[in-house]
Chains A and B, each alone.
Chain A
């Protein structure tokens, strides 16, 4: 048994003590900034709090939750959120992987490629939505302009310019394209970091063993990228579930392309129906928890 003098306790603490000391700042911040708002949120979801009604908050138990389950707009916004998530998460992964691999190639001048990778990230999200809404504008947007030009160039192609925001399906497509564009660089950045930690020696060894380029990719690159991919995927998914800025600034016809985050924002900030807004937020949290569990389970199952 080692002598535990006070000095040695401070300069060389046991592992568990050290662990907790290291975690203290994080826990402190979480408690201060997050615990109170989240606690209040969950608490509020059991009350009918409508600030613009002049009535006092009243306890309603699970009524808000029942109301949500019967609310067609809740289901519609949930559906749109799920569509965006299911399309843009794999989409951004594939696009990001492609971009990362391209950016990792040896070029004479690397900085333009890296710059191009970072520019989508540097553009403020709110403005990306507005800019792409303009790109997809039926009259002044460059998407329709390009369609017209390409159609003129290639006879018999029959491409027609669309009124994108008149159709729910086309609007969703535009939203997904924009989201993938913006977030593929997020993915690419994380994957690039992962790619760079794969030692070159592994590829050389595989080459010596006669593995083809494709096999190198599947047997060396992909497996070693999985940890970084997982991190990227978890956050991309959580962000996708909370999609707001892009769908908000690229509105489709009527209500058809609203997302859950937009519905929460309308209820909480515009209608001042804090109780119902909190309930919807709890649903979003449950969805996020469920998705994270799936990811983590996959990780644990894979590591066994």
Chain B
């Protein structure tokens, strides 16, 4: 009898200790996020995940403050096969490059049979940007697109409607500029500096005319359309609609100047809206309208997609847990949380119409059609080089150092060599 109870006691102890050991053996998933991606909001979300998944601990590392700096950092550590990072948040232009470098894990096997259904729920441009060689390599976190912000008070004053084409925009701007007699009032502000946004500057009128830059990994540049696009921007500068030093203007400069009341039309990303409505800092609160970007004559409106994606490192030692985390982070519930807490544009069309989301961000109703029509920049492993070739030439045209024809010729030469 005593032996039996001893064995039972031992058995129970054994079972208890292994049970404890099993739960104490938690997996740690290390997540890398840029400093600008609202880490405090991320931490709240992670806390929720950890509560629902007791075996997983999430460690957040914040890094470089801009897409460029994060990329430099990730490029260095991933080139050396660093195993400490499991999950990272990357810009929409990176998945193809990272996938072909073998740095991010294909998520197909973690999504299983539901894969196509899941991908179908997102806005189509995100499905396209996150799939390389028909494999899902990243999942979208939140969306972004380029909008045309305008001063609805000034347009109302002159009884003008928001322009549908670039030529209309120029005409409206000149009318109002002449009427206001304010030398500080810019007709339009857009990105002329050689930043990533300048690629969008090039693509907006180009896409509008139906041009495609890269098809199936090869350059398909339509030179006349490209020249027409660049010439359109150049004309805006020459006419005085845009300021002469537009080549110095980066994304936030546009935002600041519009916010100070010195700009009539602004081409900018979604983040600008909340700044404009910030009563303390903004001179244009409640005077701002949002609409799709204009089209070229005879073309269709086009916008550039932005936003960030979650990816799992292929050097990760916790791929299964990481994939689970990433899938949850990309779910409609989290998308809604991000929309409410961080004002991030959602990647699910359904979330735009959610009542609570609209209560926090009234303008999402106007934003949805723009985001739906937005297109993704060329999905190619060599995107960095392509981007550099395009943005540098856009900047040259805006600085008046190259003609549109010369710039387009240079883009063709360089991109052809890059994508050979």
Asked whether any CB of chain A lies closer than 8 Å to the CB of B70, the reply is no
Q: Are A52 and B381 interface neighbours, CB within 8 A?
A: yes
Q: Are B194 and A254 interface neighbours, CB within 8 A?
A: yes
Q: Are A52 and B393 interface neighbours, CB within 8 A?
A: no
Asked whether any CB of chain B lies closer than 8 Å to the CB of A102, the reply is no
A266 to B79 Cα, complex, angstroms: 15
Contact with A along B365-388 (1 / 0, CB 8 A): 000000000000000011011001
Binds B, one of A7-15, A147-155, A161-169, A182-190: A161-169
Asked whether any CB of chain B lies closer than 8 Å to the CB of A156, the reply is no
Most buried by B among A139, A168, A266: A139
Q: Are A254 and B248 interface neighbours, CB within 8 A?
A: no
Asked whether any CB of chain B lies closer than 8 Å to the CB of A51, the reply is yes
A254 with B399, Cβ < 8 A, contacts A53-B100, A137-B248, A165-B247 known = yes
Q: Given A54, A163, A254, A274, which contacts B381 in the complex, CB threshold below 8 Å? A: A54
A41 to B100 Cα, complex, angstroms: 23
Cβ distance B303 to chain A, nearest Cβ, rounded Å: 25
A119 to B401 Cα, complex, angstroms: 37
- Contact residues of A between 126 and 154, Cβ < 8 Å to B: 137-139
Q: Given B100, B247, B382, B384, which contacts A253 in the complex, CB threshold below 8 Å? A: B247
Contact with A along B97-115 (1 / 0, CB 8 A): 1101110000000000000
Chain A residues with CB under 8 Å of B194's CB are 251, 254
A166 with B401, Cβ < 8 A, contacts A251-B194, A254-B393, A254-B395 known = yes
- Contact residues of B between 62 and 114, Cβ < 8 Å to A: 71-72, 75-76, 79, 97-98, 100-102
Cβ distance B32 to chain A, nearest Cβ, rounded Å: 17
Q: Are B72 and A139 interface neighbours, CB within 8 A?
A: no
Cβ distance B261 to chain A, nearest Cβ, rounded Å: 16
A269 to B75 Cα, complex, angstroms: 6
A139 with B399, Cβ < 8 A, contacts A51-B101, A254-B194 known = no
How many chain B residues touch A (CB < 8 A): the figure is 29
Cβ distance B385 to chain A, nearest Cβ, rounded Å: 5
Asked whether any CB of chain A lies closer than 8 Å to the CB of B402, the reply is yes
A196 to B248 Cα, complex, angstroms: 46
Asked whether any CB of chain A lies closer than 8 Å to the CB of B245, the reply is yes
Instruction: Name the CB-closest residue of A to B386.
Output: A271
A253 with B101, Cβ < 8 A, contacts A138-B248, A163-B248 known = no
A166 with B400, Cβ < 8 A, contacts A51-B79, A255-B392, A272-B101 known = yes
A55 to B247 Cα, complex, angstroms: 37
Q: Are A271 and B382 interface neighbours, CB within 8 A?
A: yes
Q: Given B100, B244, B395, B402, which contacts A52 in the complex, CB threshold below 8 Å? A: B100
Chain B residues with CB under 8 Å of A272's CB are 75, 79, 97, 101, 384
Most buried by B among A251, A253, A266: A253
Asked whether any CB of chain B lies closer than 8 Å to the CB of A245, the reply is no
Per DSSP, chain A at the interface is loop
- Contact residues of B between 312 and 341, Cβ < 8 Å to A: none
- Contact residues of B between 7 and 25, Cβ < 8 Å to A: none
Q: Are A271 and B245 interface neighbours, CB within 8 A?
A: no
Cβ distance B292 to chain A, nearest Cβ, rounded Å: 30
Q: Given A54, A163, A255, A273, which contacts B102 in the complex, CB threshold below 8 Å? A: A54
Contact with A along B387-420 (1 / 0, CB 8 A): 0100011011001111000000000000000000
Chain A residues with CB under 8 Å of B400's CB are 166, 253
Contact with B along A161-179 (1 / 0, CB 8 A): 0010111100000000000
Most buried by B among A254, A255, A269, A270: A254
Instruction: Name the CB-closest residue of B to A67.
Output: B417
Contact with A along B16-38 (1 / 0, CB 8 A): 00000000000000000000000
A266 to B385 Cα, complex, angstroms: 9
Q: Are B72 and A269 interface neighbours, CB within 8 A?
A: yes
A71 to B393 Cα, complex, angstroms: 17
Contact with A along B145-159 (1 / 0, CB 8 A): 000000000000000
A165 to B248 Cα, complex, angstroms: 7
Q: Are A165 and B399 interface neighbours, CB within 8 A?
A: yes
Cβ distance A255 to chain B, nearest Cβ, rounded Å: 5
Instruction: Name the CB-closest residue of A to B76.
Output: A269
Q: Are A270 and B382 interface neighbours, CB within 8 A?
A: no
- Contact residues of A between 270 and 298, Cβ < 8 Å to B: 270-274
Asked whether any CB of chain B lies closer than 8 Å to the CB of A63, the reply is no
Q: Are B100 and A254 interface neighbours, CB within 8 A?
A: no
Chain A residues with CB under 8 Å of B393's CB are 254
Instruction: Name the CB-closest residue of A to B193.
Output: A251
**Closest 9 A-B residue pairs measured CB to CB?**
A254-B396, A253-B399, A166-B399, A54-B100, A253-B401, A138-B245, A52-B381, A163-B245, A270-B384
Given contacts A53-B382, A166-B244, A272-B75, 12 further A-B contacts (CB under 8 A): A51-B79, A51-B101, A52-B100, A166-B399, A168-B401, A254-B395, A254-B399, A254-B401, A256-B401, A269-B75, A271-B385, A273-B385
Interface residues of A (CB under 8 A from B): 51-54, 137-139, 163, 165-168, 251, 253-256, 266, 269-274
A-B contact pairs, 23 of them (CB 8 A): A51-B101, A52-B97, A52-B98, A54-B381, A163-B244, A165-B245, A166-B399, A251-B193, A253-B401, A254-B194, A254-B392, A254-B396, A254-B399, A255-B392, A256-B401, A266-B388, A270-B71, A270-B384, A270-B385, A271-B382, A271-B384, A272-B75, A272-B97
